[in-house]
Amino acid sequence: MNKSTGKTSISVGDYDVLVEYDGHWDNDGIGRYEFWGAICFDKGMDYFVVDDIRPIFTDETKVEIALIKHLIEDKYEEYAEKIAERVEADVQEGPDDNS
């Protein structure tokens, strides 16, 4: 399992919030299997799973901090999916070649 930590910004309610996330790569393949005597292999698909989202606060008020934390907890799966899609897209694009 390949673990990863990164930072990105997400829209949480009316706020654009910088977050740090932890996650790992997973695969849904079943590997080697036999089907009616034929040996087959399902390599599956790799996908990124977000394990934790932590907002990084700079100049928000206590009320805004509480609201943002509540919104992230309330819609955690939605925000985790958005972050995972960004990570997967970044990997597919590959490193920038602007040397």
Per-run averaged pLDDT (10 residues), the chain, 99 residues: 84 93 86 84 85 93 95 95 91 60
In a domain, 98, yes or no: no
In a domain, 22, yes or no: yes
Query: What is the total count of domains within the chain?
Result: 1
In a domain, 99, yes or no: no
pLDDT value of residue 31 = 79
pLDDT value of residue 1 = 55
In a domain, 79, yes or no: yes
Which residue type occupies 9? S
Domain extent for 82: 3-93
pLDDT value of residue 27 = 82
